Amino acid sequence: MPQEADTKFRILFAIYPGMTHLDFTGPHQFLSRLPGSDTIVASPAGGNVEADGLTFGNTVRIADVRSCDLICVPGGTNATKVALDPEFMREIRRLAQGAKYVTSVCTGSLILGAAGLLKGRRAACHWAYAELLPIFGAIHDPARVARDGNIITGGGVTAGIDFGLTVLAEIGGETLAQTVQLGLEYAPAPPFDSGRPDLAPPHVRARYETLRQAWLPERRADAERAAALILATAPA
């Protein structure tokens, strides 16, 4: 019954090798509970996608996806490398332009940026990478879930769960979101309070910052190259 299929709300996750898998699986677990929706998992080449030691199988080749109502791009430590793949960026731009909602989790917003979708728009990002957003003309929003028009973006990794609930409420209503929250027992109780730089103990923050300063210059250089590619390829 193709008619029925056409009325379903199509949620597309655009994933890639090297992503941080929880950026994807967190919101997927919540959003796939939206009644009357279809969830599609696509990747640049289709087939198997490796991430943090897991293999996600049976993904669709993104070029074969006709359209979607919501696109969600997860992040990864390699997001600025992925941003340098002009074909993947073109597919993300194409699908985003036809979507009702354009979304990301974590450094996925850098990929939305590299697809030319965040010029002058506010977006969330993983705190350690957020300073790269302006390279794509975006404005960093420090919120855990940020909204600017039809663009809804989550912060780092686990923010994808708060993002998923927010999007569920937007599309399916508050009662649905709260029922899914109850079903997934989302009443977080972290044993430590170290999830943001302003919360983390100084020695933890310092340890992380040392690592970050080592990898940041290369990520910045990649982001700058990716931004130059947008200028070269994006429609005016």
Of positions 4, 7, 66, 193, contacts a copy of itself by CB under 8 A: 193
Of positions 81, 134, 208, 220, contacts a copy of itself by CB under 8 A: 208
Residue 39 in contact with a copy of itself, rule: CB under 8 A: yes
SS3 letters across the chain? CHHHHHHCEEEEEECCCCECHHHHHHHHHHHCCCCCEEEEEEECCCEEEEECCEEEEEEEEHHHCCCCCEEEECCECCHHHHCCCHHHHHHHHHHHHCCCEEEEECCHHHHHHHCCCCCCCEECCCCCCHHHHHHHCCEECCCCEEEECCEEEECCCCHHHHHHHHHHHHHHCHHHHHHHHHHCCCCCCCCCCCCCCCCCCHHHHHHHHHHHHHHHHHHHHHHHHHHHHHHHHCCC
* Stretch binding a copy of itself (CB under 8 A), from 91-99, 134-142, 182-190, 220-228: 182-190
Of positions 194, 218, 221, 228, contacts a copy of itself by CB under 8 A: 194
Nearest distance from C-beta of residue 233 to a copy of itself, angstroms: 31
Of positions 157, 171, 227, 230, contacts a copy of itself by CB under 8 A: 157
Nearest distance from C-beta of residue 201 to a copy of itself, angstroms: 6
* Stretch binding a copy of itself (CB under 8 A), from 64-72, 78-86, 123-131, 221-229: 123-131
**Which residue, among 233, 179, 144, has the nearest Cα to 152 in the 3D structure?**
144
Of positions 175, 202, 214, 231, contacts a copy of itself by CB under 8 A: 175
The structure tokens 């669709």 sit at 60
Nearest distance from C-beta of residue 18 to a copy of itself, angstroms: 14
**Which residue, among 13, 136, 145, has the nearest Cα to 83 in the 3D structure?**
136
Residue 69 in contact with a copy of itself, rule: CB under 8 A: no
Residue 173 in contact with a copy of itself, rule: CB under 8 A: no
Of positions 177, 226, 227, 230, contacts a copy of itself by CB under 8 A: 177
Strand pairing of 151-154 and 145-148? antiparallel
* Stretch binding a copy of itself (CB under 8 A), from 2-10, 78-86, 173-181, 214-222: 173-181
**CA 20 to each of CA 180, 196, 199: distance values in angstroms, whole numbers, following the listed order:** 23, 18, 22
Closer to a copy of itself by Cβ: residue 165 or 227: 165
Q: Is 106 a catalytic residue?
A: yes
Q: Which residues are catalytic?
A: 106
Residues binding a copy of itself (CB under 8 A):
20-22, 25-26, 28-29, 32, 39, 41, 48, 52-58, 106, 126-128, 144-145, 155-159, 161-162, 165-166, 169, 174-175, 177-179, 181-197, 199-201, 203-205, 207-208
